[in-house]
Chains A and B, each alone.
Chain A
């Protein structure tokens, strides 16, 4: 854009938090991802869009090795976090999953108290061993997801009594409690109404100051609203990956244009 130069503006790129290079992924003989390369930058929200079954969730799970739990899978290529390949031997998986937290489509609080839900991670990982500090961590996490005011007096009540939107924010608090660096969100709003959806988006925008966020969404307006960069997946390939403004105002690929304009099929 010429005005950038003339008005003396420069575009800067944040630190490359996650670098994916030439990634192929197989479920048995089925190749679910093909030759994916992209860079996820720190303190940005990266959105992944594309039709169902195109490999978005599979890709997301490559970033915290959640696919390892599925038998018969195979990965080729590299996934680097802060420059270090997470598929190398000797990687501490528990630590990797602490650093790379995940929120799912359906809010999945444990059938326990609100407090225990958020305290779960720090307890299991042995991060906190005194009650007072644990309470602080729980409250900070609930505060970070704008839930503390609603639940301050009901921390001992079951998490299942919360509304769906609140449950999803609780799940986010549960992730934050273990001090992650990267948060993966797989269609986190698809079970929520439009206002709860905007609330989650508002949270994401606040959280990106401290974390790196990757969100898979089949709601491309959501990707447009909330993300800094957007990637379009299609049949296991990354069709286009660019600054979100560019994707939604001047995509370079016809398939992107067709998808975001709803002219598919």
Chain B
């Protein structure tokens, strides 16, 4: 069938997709800045991340609203319907990633100007990995690239390994120097927030597979493995 007859749907969906890309960009920035505020102990920057989260939240509502209206008015079916439903799931994941960035920023405020416990080598790699994974998942979504989406789960395993290493190291520090426990815990919170970003990216990748195939499948089964 001539896709021109569904032009109204396509047009509205393109607007939603643009907003989603915008949201991705804001979250990528939020994650990068929250890490920068941690690495540079910059409470001013941390506060900005926290303030700007409101924009991400509102963009989520806007996208949800538009998706709702699109379903109610354009009655999408098949792939079109899956696309809209997937977007509604994905914006929630994205919005929560914003919360993880805010979580890191909040921790930075709690840390005050206590010296850092250790260099943030692994954590900086986790942040890079998380941002790359996120970018990958969004590209996979836009291009309906199932193969690319499926590869994301493997990268999340890498993320988990980093987290595990940081976790073990910090627990070890806490055992040996009890007075460093608060500082170690702060770092652990930050690492945990980044690790959760990886999980949420994996959920996005699952939605990408769902859009293309109609299959709901879990891409990462680590929960059971641990």
Q: Chain A residues in contact with chain B, CB under 8 A?
A: 1-3, 6-7, 195, 198-199, 201-202, 205, 221, 224-226, 244-245, 248-249
For B69, list chain A residues within 8 Å (CB). Answer: 245, 248-249
Q: Which of these, B8, B61, B68, contacts A225 with CB under 8 Å? A: B8
A7-B62, A244-B73 known; 16 other A-B pairs, CB under 8 Å?
A: A1-B61, A1-B62, A2-B61, A3-B62, A6-B54, A7-B55, A7-B59, A195-B5, A205-B8, A221-B75, A224-B74, A225-B8, A225-B73, A245-B69, A245-B72, A249-B68
- Picked from A3, A202, A205, A249, the residue with its CB within 8 Å of the CB of B72 is A249
Sample (6) of A-B pairs whose CB atoms are under 8 Å apart: A6-B54, A7-B55, A7-B58, A202-B4, A202-B5, A225-B74
Task: Indicate if the CB atoms of B72 and A224 lie closer than 8 Å.
Answer: yes
Q: Is the CB of A6 within 8 A of B58?
A: yes
A-B contact count (CB 8 A): 49
Which chain B residues (48-93) contact chain A, with CB distance < 8 Å?
A: 54-55, 58-59, 61-62, 65, 68-69, 72-75
| CB of B121 closer than 8 Å to a CB of A | no
Q: Please name all residues of chain B whose beta carbon is closer than 8 Å to the beta carbon of A195 when the two chains form the complex.
A: 1, 5
The complex places the Cα of A181 from the Cα of B125 at a distance, in Å, of 63
A247 to chain B, nearest CB (A): 9
- In the assembly, what is the distance between CA of A6 and CA of B8, in Å? 26
Chain A: CB-nearest residue to B5: A198
B55 A225 Cβ-Cβ under 8 A:
no
CA A119 – CA B146 in complex, angstroms?
Answer: 55
- Closest-by-CB residue of B relative to A5 is B58
Q: Does B226 contact A (CB under 8 A)?
A: no
Most chain B CB within 10 A, of A205, A244, A249, is at A249
Specify the chain B residue showing the minimal Cβ separation from A146: B4
Q: How far is the CA of A219 from the CA of B127 in the complex (A)?
A: 52
Q: Which residue of the partner chain A has the closest CB to B11?
A: A205
> Does B7 lie within 8 Å of A224, measured CB to CB?
no
How far does the Cβ of B95 sit from chain A's closest Cβ, in whole Å? 12
Q: Which residues of B contact A202 (CB under 8 A)?
A: 4-5, 7
Nearest CB to that of B4 among chain A residues?
A202
Which one of A205, A225, A249 lies within 8 Å of B75 (CB-CB)?
A: A225
Q: Residues of A contacting B54 with CB < 8 Å?
A: 6
Residues of B within 8 A of A198 (CB): 5-6
CB neighbours of A249 from chain B (8 A): 68-69, 72
Q: How far is the CA of A70 from the CA of B138 in the complex (A)?
A: 61
- The answer to whether A205 touches B73 (Cβ under 8 A) is no
Residues of chain A lying within 8 A (CB to CB) of residue B7: 202, 205
A238 to B74, CA, bound (A): 24
Task: For residue B92, give the distance in angstroms from its CB to the closest CB of chain A.
Answer: 15
